[in-house]
Amino acid sequence: MAREEGTMARRLISILLAACLLVFSGFAQLRASNAPMEVPDYSRLLNFIAMEDRQDPLVAFGSAEKDFDRRLNKENIAFLNQDKNLMRQIQSKLKGEELRWRLSNSFKQLLVVPENREDYACLFEQYCRASVDYLLKRIHMSSPYDQIATLKGTAPSPVAAPTTRGVTVYLVHNMVDEYIEEYLFFGRDEDGDEAKIRVKLRNRAVDGKVGSYTSRLKIGDDNRFEFIRESYTLWQNSAKNPLNVLIVPIEETLHILMRSYTEAAIQSDLARSKPTRLEEVQQVVDDWMAVEEAIVGGVVAQVMPEVLARFVPQETTGQLEEALAERDAHPQYRFLNQAIHLVTDLGVDQALAVYRKDPRDFKHLLDQSPSGPALRSAQSPQSPSLVN
């Protein structure tokens, strides 16, 4: 949630209900024919993912958003205090023994590295389409997407207005979060007139996420809560663990499909608890985001082995276990082990049905589920028309 000061009247709170990894691969759409269709093999993607990672060119994606990061602010102030050469340069231009300064602005900007290698872009785009098609048939749900497209150059501006229609998928090579602070230093120029110098500090970080989908919570004057969903999602084709690239289309699709149910649960809790502080709102959102990560992760653990066996035969279930284990360090995945047990016991369709009926019922079952490792070996790949 973006940091804000003051009362809760008419604030647009950015609540990144963003998913960061998890899911599976592709399936070519079945057509009526007597001849058997050849199952596509996307193993060549592993060779592309293993290539040297590209960090540029970086292009801005979407507009900058007001934000304040207390930790990075402390780091920036420490940097300014330690950079004596910079301070001397500013001092030489501004008369006076003591510098006067203030933080004038702070905001965040998402940067992306487009994918302009044609073979890589084409194969990843085909894989994403096939993997999403497989999932939707597997769980008997409709596509939430308008289109899936590779970003090969400058991002469209505006990217897309929030909408209730379908979501656009932008495929990119890398994503980078940039936090920017602008400082104003005050003094006098050579003529004795008041002068100021603007210093801009940029902090860039790659947090390891390979997928992103955002909902925003709007709080009105009467403390009514309304969600506004972005009309796009970003999927990245690079990662330290190649499996995270292979699973991102399905994980993000599941997040998008489950989001409306999660939002309803959040709104219900907020209406009941009537929070008076932003921290209380954020806690409700964080708690339910962990539950959404749980249902998504539990489904991924069941479906992914089928997909690997079917479309990426070079991959192994052991690498899936490793990818899931990596999430233990992140608090949003704190219910993942319980969810794997629960979805294993209920089956994919029944687990999703419980969540769609009422996420609180799924959370209740989650609380009763054991928390030990629960990833089972893959069964034989199933037809999308079969139910677990």
d(CA 143, CA 256): 10
Question: What is the DSSP track for 224-247?
Answer: -EEEEE-SEEEEES--SSHHHHHH
Q: What pLDDT, in 10s, does the model give residues 281-291?
A: 999 999 999 99
Q: 10 Å Cβ neighbour count for 313?
A: 12
pLDDT at position 13: 37
Is residue 384's pLDDT more than 50? no
Pick from 25, 21, 47, 48: which is nearest to 322 by CA? 21
Q: What pLDDT, in 10s, does the model give residues 41-59?
A: 889 998 999 888 888 899 9
* pLDDT band at residue 153 under the 50/70/90 scheme: confident
pLDDT at position 18: 40
pLDDT at position 175: 93
d(CA 186, CA 94): 7
Rg (C-alpha) for the chain, rounded Å, is 24
pLDDT at position 363: 96
Q: 10 Å Cβ neighbour count for 189?
A: 12
Pick from 54, 28, 16, 63: which is nearest to 237 by CA? 54
Q: Give the percent of the chain with pLDDT over 90.
A: 49
Three-state DSSP state, 124: helix
pTM score over 0.85? no
Pick from 128, 45, 131: which is nearest to 384 by CA? 131
- Residue bearing tokens 């419980």: 354
Question: What average pLDDT score do residues 302-327 get?
Answer: 80
> Facing residues of 150 across strands?
171
Q: Are 159 and 99 in contact (CB under 8 A)?
A: no
Tokens linked to 69: 């990061």
d(CA 50, CA 228): 37
Is residue 383's pLDDT more than 60? no
Q: What pLDDT, in 10s, does the model give residues 57-89?
A: 999 998 888 999 999 999 999 999 899 898 888
